[in-house]
Structure 1
Amino acid sequence: MLRHLSAIHVPYRLKRPFRISRGTKSVADTIFVEIRRGRHIGRGEGVPYTRYDETIDSVIAQIGSVRDEIEAGADRERLIEIMPPGAARNAIDCALWDLEAKQTRVSVVDRIGWGPLGPVDTAITISLDTPENMAAAAQQLQDVPLLKVKVDASDPIAALRAVRQVAPNPRMIVDPNESWSIDQLGSWQRQLVDLRVDLLEQPLPAKNDADLEGFESLIPLAADESGHVTDNLGQLARRYDYVNIKLDKTGGLTTALEMLEAAEREGLGLMMGCMVSSSLSIAPALIIAQRCAFVDLDGPTLLTEDRDNGVVETCGTMVPPKPGFWG
């Protein structure tokens, strides 16, 4: 019996504008994929990201380019051969995992052999704004276990001080999204220590990563935009302490699992991240999150409306979706 693949654009409006150093968004654009075979339907989601030259149209076109092979029965291993990493492959890969689970009645976590998923503490993000507005946002989050604070190069220390003053207890990830220079990193790191920053994520542009070789950072560094797939992990390990795994970068759960194992072999710590997305993106990401020291999966909490029966976040702790949602 042949499969049927469909892919559509599904936008989600955000509760409030989400700003990082590269720009601001008010809508999360996702690509929803279904793969049907008989009465079974596998679902997956990818999020096009302009940082990697992806658009809604380009991701849908990529999916269309492999439609015939997927409908003819191509498996996840074949998918890796015919598609590059990215949002399009992620959506198909996760849909294939879901379809396989429904056809066999064996859950994805059981197939992997990791056992049942448990709740995880996820970072709750404070987007880039004035120090006063960031402090107002942090005031509502002072009891969560982990904050992620978006900054740029225009006086990030003032913003972080404002956040810390009202939220002294949570662990803190700081994310400049490639907006700093190596000189700025050096000049600010003593203040970052004083502010009890636990992790600094992608401070420099990925193209300037070589500047980190030999740099003695006082704060653990995590690669995000610099760390996509397993090929460059050895090099990353000379520059970073952690790598942020995202399914839309690796191109799906299949290669994310491979990247996790390879990162552990290289001695890199693990972080699990996401784009701004619905719970359909987060459900497979929660599998990787079980092995990560830092988890940043709050994408659905930014939406005005999520998918039914998805993840539930309460005071920074995320509970997996209800049975039957995915996988």
Structure 2
Amino acid sequence: MEIEVRVERLPLRAPVRITGYTFIEVPVVVVELHDEEFVGRGEAAGIYYRSEYPERMVNQIEAIRPVLTAGADRSMLAHLLLPGGARNALDCAFWDLEAKRAGRPAWQLAGLPSPKPKITTYTLGADDPGAMAEQARAYSQARALKLKLTGEPIDAERVKAVRAARPDVWMGVDANQGYDINSLRTMMPAFIAADVGLIEQPVPPALDSGLAAVQSPIPIAGDESVLCLADLPRSVGRFDVINIKLDKCGGLTEALAMARVGRQLGFKVMVGNMGGSSLAMAPGFLLAQWCDFVDLDGPLILAQDRTPSVIYQDGQISCPQSLWGDAVASHA
């Protein structure tokens, strides 16, 4: 098997601001696995807040290239790489390759139901309340919105303005660790008044033990606190929802395991993304079939997506099988 690894930088339509960061592009690593007949592809953006930059992910993959070319398979990746973007790119490429070799779509190999369109959130970057309201109206087909907040007092005006602009949609908020326990309590009346349906990662992981005492009437989701399968036991009693991202946990293989174990532990399950093209969304779309909340809007903020691409219609995401995980043989 031959392995091709490359870095691609995907420009955004406009800068996106969250707590502590402003993004103008999404750098990704693309892996292609070539055997004598088929090509399997995977894409990963990594975890920016864990300093997973493209060069670091490429170096991680190159370090195990001899093992991979000698005949390693997907089942060995958890022993070769820690959870993160490098493992995700390889894991998803192996799933794609396995589907083509087997002549069966990846969803069948994963034991999932035949994929159907799912409502996905459309994300609004943190901005002036009026600008966020305008963007919410511009996403006219959206049936679910996610607001990026920053932990500043203006957050109350942001949720109020967006709710006034779009009284018809489900709305969640994502603070990306922007609050502490006291400021979260202070914001809660504004969230309740705006009929917020989910609060994602309101406090840093170092403070999340205090969430149990908040007794939030709104479900709280763990994101930065819940990276991989090993983080689930400590999350019981702190979060109501776990946000599974393939870049965090290291690919679809562990993401499926997280969804199963998460359900057993009493969590609702969400699939999110760290950004990227449709190639990165396609494996997550399979996981979405098991999820209560879906946040797979990464390509919407790109200046240009791949072809073929996922389809956003009527507030839902769907994925043509030809994009990834196709049973139809794709020859090298």
* Pairwise TM-score range, normalised by the shorter structure: over 0.9
Q: Is the 8 A contact 2:285 2:318 kept in 1?
A: no
Taking the aligned partners of 1:109 and 1:122, their CA distance within structure 2 comes to 19
Q: Aligned residue for 1:269?
A: 268
**CA apart distance, 1:259:** 0.6
Q: Is the 8 A contact 2:160 2:190 kept in 1?
A: no
**CA apart distance, 1:322:** 4.2
Q: Which aligned pairs between 1:190-229 and structure 2 lie closer than 5 A?
A: 190-229=189-228
**CA apart distance, 1:233:** 1.1
The worse-fitting range, judged by mean Cα deviation, of 111-120 and 170-179 is: 111-120
Taking the aligned partners of 1:8 and 1:21, their CA distance within structure 2 comes to 29
Change (3 A) 1:324 1:189: closer
Q: TM-score if structure 2 supplies the norm length?
A: 0.95
Taking the aligned partners of 1:95 and 1:234, their CA distance within structure 2 comes to 29
Taking the aligned partners of 1:101 and 1:143, their CA distance within structure 2 comes to 33
- Residue 28 of structure 1: which of 26, 29, 49 is its match? 26
Q: TM-score if structure 1 supplies the norm length?
A: 0.97
Taking the aligned partners of 1:27 and 1:188, their CA distance within structure 2 comes to 31
Alignment gaps of 5+ in structure 1: none
SS in 1 for 2:260: helix
Change (3 A) 1:294 1:177: same
Higher relative contact order (CA 8 A, sep 6+): 2
SS in 1 for 2:322: coil
Which residue type is aligned with residue 105 of structure 1?
G
Q: Is the 8 A contact 1:142 1:169 kept in 2?
A: no
Runs of 4+ aligned residues of structure 1 deviating over 2 Å after TM superposition are: 321-327
Q: Aligned residue for 1:137?
A: 135
Change (3 A) 1:25 1:324: closer
- Residue 105 of structure 1: which of 92, 100, 103 is its match? 103
**CA apart distance, 1:213:** 2.9
Taking the aligned partners of 2:292 and 2:324, their CA distance within structure 1 comes to 26
Q: Aligned residue for 1:149?
A: 147
**CA apart distance, 1:319:** 1.3
Q: Is the 8 A contact 2:46 2:248 kept in 1?
A: no
Q: Which aligned pairs between 1:36-51 and structure 2 lie closer than 5 A?
A: 36-51=34-49
Q: Aligned residue for 2:90?
A: 92
Q: Is the 8 A contact 1:142 1:166 kept in 2?
A: no
Taking the aligned partners of 1:22 and 1:212, their CA distance within structure 2 comes to 22
**CA apart distance, 1:208:** 1.1
Taking the aligned partners of 2:273 and 2:320, their CA distance within structure 1 comes to 16
Identity %: 35
Change (3 A) 1:325 1:259: closer
**CA apart distance, 1:143:** 4.7
The worse-fitting range, judged by mean Cα deviation, of 314-323 and 160-169 is: 314-323
- Per-residue deviation, residues 156-181 of structure 1 (Å, max 9, x unmatched): 11111111111111101100100101
SS in 1 for 2:243: strand
Q: Is the 8 A contact 2:118 2:288 kept in 1?
A: yes
Q: Aligned residue for 1:233?
A: 232
Q: Is the 8 A contact 1:277 1:299 kept in 2?
A: yes
Alignment gaps of 5+ in structure 2: 327-332
Taking the aligned partners of 1:125 and 1:298, their CA distance within structure 2 comes to 7
Taking the aligned partners of 1:94 and 1:285, their CA distance within structure 2 comes to 10
Which residue type is aligned with residue 121 of structure 1?
I
Q: Aligned residue for 2:318?
A: 319
Taking the aligned partners of 1:272 and 1:203, their CA distance within structure 2 comes to 17
**Aligned alpha-carbon RMSD (Å):** 1.2
**CA apart distance, 1:324:** 5.2
SS in 2 for 1:185: helix
Taking the aligned partners of 2:105 and 2:250, their CA distance within structure 1 comes to 21
SS in 2 for 1:183: helix
**CA apart distance, 1:192:** 0.8
- Per-residue deviation, residues 278-299 of structure 1 (Å, max 9, x unmatched): 0111110011101111100000
Taking the aligned partners of 2:213 and 2:163, their CA distance within structure 1 comes to 30
| Number of residue pairs matched by the alignment | 325
Q: Aligned residue for 1:184?
A: 183
**CA apart distance, 1:119:** 0.6
